[in-house]
Amino acid sequence: MLKDVVRTKSYQNVIYQNKFLFKDKVVLDVGAGTGILSLFCAKAGAAHVYAVECSQMANMAKQIVEANGFCNVITVLKGKIEEIELPVTKVDIIISEWMGYFLLFENMLNTVLYARDKWLVDDGIVLPDKASLYLTAIEDAEYKDDKIEFWNNVYGFDMSCIKKQAMMEPLVDTVDQNQIVTNCQLLKTMDISKMGPGDASFTAPFKLVAQRNDYIHALVAYFDVTFTKCHKLMGFSTGPKSRATHWKQTVLYLEDVLTICEGEAVSGSLTVAPNKKNPRDVDIMLKYSLQGRHSAISRIQYYKMR
């Protein structure tokens, strides 16, 4: 994670270039990990930072804080946000790197919202405060043949039952921007400072218009994160046209190969919800249709991020 320059440098720039937000403020770092965000905040002039981490990494974070001379400013607390007690009743700022693959897979959003509702002052700040999910479509014949169609004939045997399973599992991978066939469409923007836990479940319509004659093998989702409380709008993107991050992109392979002509559109909706048995997992329902010159298709597909 620390080697993800886009992620870490973005947070560093937000904090160091907006020291007026942090000076003499009490900060809560949710899911602190090594404590890198807490260190940035302390260096920017925060009065005190409470770094909460539930894993064994909390022990390392304590040593890192001590080694860098911030023991008087940063307090590392080991435990779950929902179970710990802070030494203060309120904090001015909550900062967290809570995003997961596809924005919502194995994320800590609900934990951040819990902390916000319990400890953030009325005019407090959540960083980042906006997260947006986008969708586009790609040509990806080579990979789909290699990883999906392969199961139709495995050394002369039909193993297509595995193909069905492979189709239901979104692939997290880096997409070449030259594979993009359509426009990119905003599906959902979440305002972390105001939203409720239920807002992470949604259905969003989309219309992806082909920018050239090509084939569509998959839809691709990615997200942007924005810090709107800064002096100047700041943030980063995990999209295929931006510098790569550890989140990469999320590829949803289609059962059909869509033959699409420039100007034609794939329309439909994407429904996203936490899995009922394990809320850290994500269930996705994709409805799509194309009524084109060479393809006339309408289908529903289900995906499970596990």
The structure tokens 């890198």 sit at 36
Of how many residues is the chain composed? 306
Task: Please confirm, yes or no, whether 83 is among the known catalytic residues.
Answer: no
Task: Please confirm, yes or no, whether 106 is among the known catalytic residues.
Answer: yes
Closest CA relative to residue 292, chosen from 222, 175, 209: 209
What is the DSSP pairing of strand 234-237 with strand 214-227? antiparallel
User: DSSP H helical segments within 137-181, as ranges?
Assistant: 141-147, 160-168
Q: Which residues contact 51 (CB under 8 A, 6 or more apart)?
A: 29, 32, 35, 37, 38, 61, 65, 74, 75, 76, 77
User: Among the options 83, 85, 97, 142, which is catalytic?
Assistant: 97
Closest CA relative to residue 2, chosen from 29, 41, 35, 46: 35
The pair of structure tokens assigned to 113 is 């919202």
Interatomic CA distance for residues 217 and 249, integer angstroms: 15
Interatomic CA distance for residues 237 and 248, integer angstroms: 10
Half-sphere exposure of 176 (CA within 13 A, CB side): 6
User: Among the options 82, 83, 106, 255, which is catalytic?
Assistant: 106
Instruction: List active site positions.
Output: 97, 106
